[in-house]
Structure 1
Amino acid sequence: MKNQFYLFFLLATLSLSPVLAQTAYDKGMQKAFTLWQEGKEVDAANLFERIAQAEMDNWLPHYYVSTINTIHSFGIKDEKQLMQQLQKAQEYLDIAKRLSPDNAEILVQQAMINTAYIAYDGQTYGMTLSGKNTQLYSKALQLDPENPRVILSKAEWDMGSARYFGKDTAPYCADVEKAIGLFSTFKPAEKYAPSYGEERAKQVLEACKS
């Protein structure tokens, strides 16, 4: 599971225009994405943290600190380590929420944190967080109905829920296909905003066909 989520998030905004004003912020963000792409997740997260401390009014570096810490919590067996990592993810996401309210990307990231808890201990966290995730994905879809990541993330959550209850996942494959179509035209609202997910969507759709 950890590898699946890693692939989903790793293809972050490296499709940006190669011609960028080389501010300190730009240099830092590009370096952090490069470190992440190279598999140096700890270094990338640490750099995003430093950028977040310098960019207190910018939700994006806070969002990426939360994202990386969440992704790499999947598969952790030690409860103390897991809680520390997810608490940091939540701390930075809470800042991002204050800086950018009603942001569909942030709602999806909150659902990912909840999913990490459920993946670790479904009996403890499933009852309380599953319903919250359903609400988060529904609100994200209302806020940004043409965002392919929102559609894909909601579809994957719905598929997981269907599998858990022994139901057919096929109805959600159409949503994944819709997301793939939207990736070709989707434009991030601002520089460094998330633009990843197409390859993950293709993997999920291929699994639908098998």
Structure 2
Amino acid sequence: MEKVILILVLSISGALFAQSDYEKGMNQAFELWGTNPAEASNLFERIAHAEKDNWIPFYYAAQVNILNGFTIKDKAVLTAQLEKAQTLLDQASAISSDNPEIMVMQALLHIVWVAYDGETYGMLLSGKVIALYEKALQLAPDNPRVVFGKAEWDMGGAKFFGNDTAPFCKEIEKSIELFAKFEPKAPFYPIWGKERAEQVLATCK
């Protein structure tokens, strides 16, 4: 009996230690993100391969590459960056299918291409972005990143065609209310977006 208890204690201690290593690594990656995005992405990816049933590190590894894509002007560099991000998102989706957070990030990847060259990629990818947001909204109507992402995209379309943006401003207001109520489902679960939503809402005034 004592041996059984010892094994259980050692197992629990090992799990706690592994979790501690995970948290330490994730925190280190977030710290690196501000100064060395490439190394942050690599660290998130290394953590992801160690945490084989956890989609979150793959998600952040992809997000680093996607957000950095908005600053890249060279098409070859951008293509390589977003292809890597797509692979990481695919790995995240393989672990957690029909995940609205991953859908929002997938939509954002497409939006990087639209921002890079609207004439080439606007018509090609707009339908995919809309479909992703609509599906995510069906799955998680109270997810603030879903509500905000869709509203910001729709607002951009309304501005492009000279249409009224007021309905989308209301949706952005709704997303900010949802951000205030949102409770993460796990450690390091995505919580980003509120500051961006507030910035976009300020343009509605």
Find the residue that maps to 2:98 and give its secondary structure. coil
2:145 aligned residue (124, 138, 149): 149
Find the residue that maps to 1:72 and give its secondary structure. helix
Find the residue that maps to 2:53 and give its secondary structure. coil
**1:56, CA displacement in angstroms?**
2.2
1:73, 1:85 → 2: CA distance? 7
Q: Any conservation in 2 of the 1:59–1:100 contact (CA below 8 Å)?
A: yes
Alignment of structure 1 residues 61-100 onto 2, 5 Å: 61-100=57-96
1:100, 1:39 → 2: CA distance? 30
The equivalent of 1:205 in structure 2 is: 201
The equivalent of 1:124 in structure 2 is: 120
TM-score (norm 2): 0.88
Amino acid at match of 2:138: Q
Q: Any conservation in 2 of the 1:158–1:172 contact (CA below 8 Å)?
A: yes
Identical aligned pairs, as a percentage? 55
Find the residue that maps to 2:204 and give its secondary structure. helix
1:141, 1:33 → 2: CA distance? 28
In the alignment, structure 1 segments of 5+ residues that lack a partner are: 1-19
2:96, 2:125 → 1: CA distance? 23
Q: Are residues 1:28 and 2:25 paired?
A: yes
Which has more helix, going by share of residues?
Answer: 2
Alignment of structure 1 residues 5-20 onto 2, 5 Å: none
Amino acid at match of 2:21: A
1:90, 1:189 → 2: CA distance? 24
The equivalent of 2:3 in structure 1 is: none
**1:159, CA displacement in angstroms?**
0.8
Query: Which has the higher relative contact order, 1 or 2, with Cα contacts under 8 A spaced 6 or more apart?
Result: 1
Find the residue that maps to 1:43 and give its secondary structure. helix
Find the residue that maps to 2:203 and give its secondary structure. helix
**1:43, CA displacement in angstroms?**
2.2
TM-score (norm 1): 0.86
Amino acid at match of 1:57: D
Q: How many residues align?
A: 189
In the alignment, structure 2 segments of 5+ residues that lack a partner are: 1-15
**1:40, CA displacement in angstroms?**
2.7
Structure of greater Rg = 2
